[in-house]
Every structure is written in C-alpha cells, then in structure tokens.
Structure 1
Amino acid sequence: MASVHDFGRRKFPRGEVLLSSGRRNWSGMAAEVRNHPAGEIPPPVPQQMEITLALSGSPTGRVERRGNGEWQDTPARPGTLWLCPIGVVEESIRITEDLSSILHIFIGHEVFKEVSRTVSRAVSPESIAYRAGIDDEFVRQVGYRISAELEEETCVGGLLVDSLSSAMAAHLVATYSGALLQDRENPRIDQVRMRRVVDYINDNLDADISLADLSEIACLSHHHFARAFRSAVGVPPHRFISTLRLKRAQDLLAHTQANLADIAFACRFSSQSTFTRAFRRHMGLSPGEYRRKAGR
C-alpha cells in the first residue's frame, strides 16, 4: 500500500505523521495518524476510499470542505468522522485551528472488488456518499482498533487488518451507497475444511498467516470465510491465532531455555516489549514471572 502513503504525503504536506502503517505487512488497508496545522489543504483526487476519524481533534476547531458541489462545515471534536470516496473532487479543504491526532484510513479498489465477488454483483466505491460528521459507531470502533494496532503492533495485525478492511468496505457500501448487501446464503464451513484451516494455522504459527491464505484453504471468499470461521469457532481468525501463539509462548517459556527475544520472534511479535505487554494482558503476569513459576 505504498501508493496510499504517497497519497497521504501529497494531500497533507504540512501534517505531522505520528503513526503509520507504511512499514507494516498490511494488505487492502493502510492508515496513519497525523497532527494538522490550521490552514488550507491541497485537495488531490483520491484513488482509494478515505475514512477520517478525529482521535483528539479540537474542542473548537472545524473542518470546512467542498466536494461534488456540496459544502460541509464540521466541528472536529473527538470521535468526528468524515468519508471521502474514490474519485471525489474536493474543491477546497480548510482547517480553522490546529488539530491533533487525526486518523486517516485508506481502503483500496481491490477490497471492494473482493466484496463484489462475495455478493456476485458489482460494488462501486465511487457510489459511496461524500459525508461529514456521521454518527456511525461501527466505523468509529474500527477506527479506534486500527489506531490501537498502529500504536502497539500485535502478532496478528496483518490478519486483523485484512478482516477489518473487508468488513469496513461492505459496511460503507451497504450504509452509504444505497446498495444493500445481502448475502444470498449463510456461509458455513464444514469440519473437513475447518480441520485443514486449523492444521495450517498450527503448522505456520511462526510465519505470517494472511486471511487470503486461510480463505483459499477453506475455498471461501475472504468475507465469507471470516464470518463462517467466527460462526464455527466463536472468535474471529486473528483472535484464534493470537491465542494459539500465546499458548505456544507459554510452552516455550515453561519447557525451553530460549530467551524472551527469540520467543517473541517465534510467536510473530514485532519486539520483546510488545510480546511482554501482550503476554501480561493474557496471563496476568510477565513472561519472566511465568517462567519462574514454571520452574525454568
């Protein structure tokens, strides 16, 4: 998604980048958090769906923008959302006061193509409305989860983003384009295919596992697979894999002398500190404390 980050640099040349997915192994979606100074923003034509969420924003600042002939003047308080679909020509964008911690999420064409294949009809991101100040808790919570992943990378971040990008694209089309997405059938995954998926996960816990890999093994589209897996197992794929990796970490801590950095890498954490925080959240004690209790 390098081109998406190039777009962010072109659109926001004065915006300070605080967090970015540029070095993450994400597909379908990219994101960045910026501080924006007051003033005019040069408005290029987007080549991807842009969702903006004010994480901190400003108690009195506003964003004034005009696109598709529509004028919008929106308070930039925390939780405020903006949508800018692919192809919208924004004639002007003006920020009245400095804004802090603004999340920008970019979703590419390929995600909407996948949604089209899932529902067997053409789904156009260009049909999504140009909106500001929407009250959409689903979009807001996905934004907060993406922001948390940017701030602290998890061992299943890429898989999580795969799932969220498809869910977000389907939600935007269903809610803001008038094209109601109704699956023609309730997707299910039989025991044989589920066993193949689980075996693959267990055999590749020390490697990157993508939603595309799992969907192909299950012979389902990305969107159908994520829903069918959650229906069968009770948790989404990324959470299932995260739990297995943490269980593997417990086994390595209890039965080997491997150092914490090696265990973190083997369980696909980006650093020892990230692994330590995740392990403490999961177990209620640090990896070192767990190892001492296990007698290693």
Structure 2
Amino acid sequence: MSKVVLRDSPGEIPAASRVQRDLTGDRPAADVEMARVLGTLPFRMALDSSGAGIAHWKHEPLHDVVAPMSHHVIMAYNGVVQRMERRSGKDIAIGTFRPGAVIIIPEGSSSRWDIPKPVDVVQLYLPQTTLRRVADEAATGVSPELLERTAHPDPVTSRLLLSAADVLEGNEALDTLFRQQLMDLLATRLLAAHTGSPGTIAPARGGLAPKTLLRAIERLRSDSDSDVSLAALAAEAGLSRFHFCRAFKDSTGLSPHAWLRQHRLEQAMNMLRDTDESVVSIAAALGYSSQTAFAAAFRKLTGESPSDWRRRAR
C-alpha cells in the first residue's frame, strides 16, 4: 500500500518528499516546490510515495517564480475574490481568483505569480503516468496533455477538490482508497475538460461477477495486512482500476471507499454497543490514527460522538 502522509498542523516536510525528483531530470516534487514558494507548510496534506496527493494551503500574498515540477498541479480556490497575474515568458495571463475557478500548472512548466492577497487553496498533485493510465483505461481517445489554465471557470473540478481536504479521516486504508479514487476521478475530468482535444469516456460494462464481487468484499473486510489499494482490488478482479471502480459501484451502489467507510462504521457501532472496549481501543482496532480522528469520522456519518451514540444505543 502507498505510504500516506497526513498532517493537520505545521510540521516538517517528509524526508522522502524533500528529495523527490523526476526520473527524467531534476524537477522537484510539487509539494516541495510549493513549500518553498509559499514559505509555509500545508494546513493538511496526504501524499503517496510518488509525491502524488492532495494538499490544503493557506498562505500570504505571493510574488515569486514557480519552478518546473515533476507533477501536474491543479488548484481550486476557496477565498475572497481577487485579481492575480501569471507570467510565462512573454505571455501574461490576468485572471480572477473566485470560488468555482481552477488553476492548472502542467508538469514541467514555469511561471511567475503575483497574487496580492492571502490565499486559501486546495491542490492536487497528479503524475503524468496517472493521467496517461486513466486515458488508456477509459478509452478516451485523448492525448493526455493538460492545458495551462489561469483562474479558469470549472465548478465541477473545483467542488471535487475542495471537498477532498475535508474527507481525509486519519484512517490509512480509508484515506488511501479515497485518494486513489479521487485521483482517477479528477484525471478523468481533466481529460474531458482540460486537454486540447476533449474526448468521450467509454460506457460502463456492467457490474462484477458474483464471485469476483465476493472476493473484493472479503479483501475490504479483512482485518489482516491485506492490501486494499485500488491496484490490488482491480488486479484480483482482472480489471483496470477505472473499470473496477465502475463495476463495483454498479454492483453495490457504493464506491470501494464508500463501502469500506460504511463497513468501518458498522464495526464501530457493533463494538460500541456490544463490548465495553474504550473508544480509544476501538479507534486503534479499526485503524484510525487517533481517538480524535475516529470521533470526527464517526460524528460526520452519524451526527453524534461515539460516547453519546453508545449511551443512546444501550
């Protein structure tokens, strides 16, 4: 399973990310370059070992050059409306930061940014290999080359990205599945809306065969160290990640991440109702990084704290 770094408060940039470099050159990973340019640390971040992931930044006005990076960077803005300027060589783009607008910095591009006010933004770091894989799996017929965008209206991509930062729950299995699904979903959206020749997505091919679905559910239910990444689930089903997610949802009505989150909730309820285990012990047993993370995830789904729910259920 990919290593995930989740940070809710300032801390040190992970060593693996500090030295991350593109195999074809000396480009820094996106999170490293963003930390340098923004002069701060992210409010929240989840990365895998390739440097791909999601980061929520709150930073001061910016007047600096962003160097070429080893990932595509897609940003959704979540602050007050303001004008900004982006210079790439002799080209100048003037845009308006506003909710519903996105910025795309393609892999390897460089530009100077002048943003006069503080910024609240969620960023996606997307490897070109992921974009190419999704294009192949989805049979889009599109060349996976992203266009540069400056405060470009795209409320669909913006909503997906802004919601992502709030869904990370501090549970490695859940967060990894969510991040992988979101990467593929956003890559599909970017291919459809932000390339030079948008194409169409191949239609769904139906649900999983009953035995294949059962094996996938058994893997998701496993309390062992079984790999529940999308890559492992799809490989066992003999499908691409893209088509596995579609088929699993067609069969169950839920994405793999939503199914596992519901299963974890049911486990938590059973343990709270039927045992005297402490909340902190239940959080650890279900794979949450802390009692606080477990309580926040439980409240998000039920509207109650684990302790309050237990008192009411008994």
TM-score of the two chains, using structure 2 as the length reference: 0.80
Contact 2:56–2:123 (Cα < 8 Å) also in 1: yes
Residue matched to 2:158: 140
The Cα shift of 1:30 comes to: 1.5
d(CA) in 2 for partners of 1:180, 1:222:
19
SS in 2 for 1:265: helix
Deviation at 1:268, TM superposition (A): 2.3
Q: Closer, same or farther in 2 for the Cα pair 1:255/1:142, shift >3 Å?
A: same
Alignment of 1:254-293 (within 5 A): 254-293=273-312
Any residues of structure 2 matched to 1:1-296 within 5 Å, and which?
2=17, 3=20, 6-15=29-38, 16-21=40-45, 29-56=52-79, 58-59=80-81, 61-67=82-88, 70-90=91-111, 92-95=112-115, 97-119=116-138, 124-125=143-144, 127-149=145-167, 153=170, 156-177=174-195, 178-183=197-202, 186-204=205-223, 209-295=228-314
Query: Which letter does structure 2 place at the counterpart of 1:42?
Result: V
135 and 154 in structure 1: CA distance in 2 versus 1, 3 angstrom threshold: farther
* Offset, 1:166: 0.8
Percent identity among equivalent residues?
23
Question: 1:123 Cα shift?
Answer: 5.8
CA distance in 1, matches of 2:97, 2:278: 46
Distance 1:214 1:26, change over 3 A: farther
Unaligned runs of 5+ in 2: 1-15, 22-27
Unaligned runs of 5+ in 1: none
Q: Distance in 1 between matches of 2:243 and 2:51?
A: 16
Q: Secondary structure at the match of 1:186?
A: coil
Contact 2:76-2:121 at 8 Å conserved across structures:
yes
State how far apart, in whole Å, the 1-side matches of 2:265 and 2:224 are: 10
What is the alpha-carbon distance in structure 1 between the residues aligned to residue 163 and residue 50 of structure 2? 16
Amino acid at match of 1:10: E
Structure 2 residue identity aligned to 1:55: N
Contact 1:53–1:81 (CA under 8 A) maintained in structure 2: yes
Matched residues in 1 for 2:218 and 2:34: separation?
A: 44
Aligned counterparts of 2:193 and 2:76: Cα–Cα separation in 1: 17
Report the CA distance between 1:86 and its aligned residue: 1.6
1:65-119 Cα shifts (integer Å, max 9, x gaps): 13376421112233431111123343x2222x12231222111123123214414
Question: Partner of 2:289: helix, strand, or coil?
Answer: coil
Q: Superposition RMSD on alpha carbons, in Å? A: 2.8
Q: 1:181 to 1:204 in 2, by over 3 A?
A: farther
Q: Which moved more, 1:165-174 or 1:279-288?
A: 279-288
Q: Deviations over 1:138-157 (max 9, x none)?
A: 2111111222135x545612
1:236 shift after superposition: 1.1
Change (3 A) 1:68 1:44: same
Q: Are the aligned partners of 1:114 and 1:222 in contact in 2 as well (CA < 8 Å)? A: no
Checking the alignment, whether the CA contact within 8 Å between 1:173 and 1:179 is kept in structure 2 is yes
Query: The residue matched to 1:17 in structure 2 has which SS?
Result: coil
